[in-house]
Amino acid sequence: MNFSISTEVLLNNLLISQKALSTRTPAPYLQGIKLEVYPKEVVLVTSNADISIKLSIKDESLEVHTTGEVLIPGKFFVDIIRKLSGEKTKLSTVENHILRIEAGNSDVTLNLLNVEDYPEIDFVMNDTPIKLESKVMKSIIRQTTFATSAIENRPILTGVNIRVEGEKLIAIATDSFRLSSKVIDIPKNFENMNVVIPGRSLDELFKVLELGLDEILIHLDHKSILFEYGNVLFQSRLLDGNFPETGRLIPVEFPIVVKFNKNDLFVAIDRASLLSQKDGSTAIVKLHLRSDNQVEITSNSPEIGKVTEEVYPIEKAIGVPIKIAFSSKYFLDALKTFNSEEVYVKFTGEIRPFVIEGSEDAGLIQLILPVRTE
């Protein structure tokens, strides 16, 4: 194997491929980057327990002298290429078990792993992928994965449930204390699907989508889901099990509705939470809609003090006075997902789940369970 390529092009692709490198595994080959060299193309393959990535590089700077395939220790390879100063990098094998890296004034050798140990990975594509704008896919991830569970005792809740039903794509995440639901319209020419994708996989996909390309294709298999994005194939395993039925959790009627400026509400809750944090636990704050239509956000710590913040609704609130307590972290996390400058907070009762919606965020619902304080 012997070829040369732009150092910048190689590094940019390595930074994507390393997202699927395994860092904690007894199998050293999964810590490697498989590099396949063809007459007019270089392919990078990486894989761990959750995701696999395959990149095809067909750059004008690529000059292939001899073909072949090798397995390179991933972390060292990326670190070396990152620090090279030459505009072009030459890679060649020495005696089939050593990789020689030449660029500028640098000449580095790296012991290779046994490429025959690397498992054969099938990147499963189908004839009718779902096509989405990449910015829509990014918004789905940003507005849902934060609500997945960080606790592994219910593995299914560590993922995002994505369903296609007719002309709707529905993404739902919940950790049992909060829920995020995003619904978007899609053309009615795709098969229905119902899968659960690990939240961590989607967070890594989000980083790949920073490339800024226009669209992404979604290929579904019974065990995996593959996202095709430019020269990147990003494949994730699916979580086994049935995602809980959440439709009945979201209220449909709200006797109490308050409209806020999102930033004003965020700042008030953020300040109020400062005195109620204890031993790293989640801060609990209280919201009181008074009879004079003003809203008080309060928190109280007997050892430290008390905070009272007043927030003025944009419009006269609908409904009767209410007092409700909740996790400030959950509320602030939810507010961060909205692009709208104005949000509606909708209540059904003091100990029942409440909902946040944005005036310009169609299809997005954030639900939070209140906290009993008495």
The burial class, CB within 10 Å (0-12 / 13-18 / 19+), for 249 is middle
138 sits in which H/E element? helix 134-142
Are 37 and 3 in contact by the 8 Å Cβ rule? The answer is: yes
- Which region among 22-31, 79-88, 294-303 has the lowest average model confidence (pLDDT)? 22-31
- Position 278 confidence tier, pLDDT thresholds 50, 70, 90: low
pLDDT at 236 over 90: yes
pLDDT at 374 over 70: no
CA distance 317 to 298: 19
Per-residue pLDDT of 174-195, as tens digits, reads: 999 999 999 999 887 777 889 9
| Residue-range domains of the chain with CATH | 2-117 (3.10.150.10), 130-247 (3.10.150.10), 250-368 (3.70.10.10)
In angstroms, how far is CA 107 from the centroid of its own chain? 38
CA distance 35 to 264: 52
Tell me, what amino acid is at 133? E
pTM of this prediction? 0.92
Per-residue pLDDT of 22-81, as tens digits, reads: 877 778 888 999 999 999 999 999 999 789 999 999 999 999 999 999 999 999 999 999
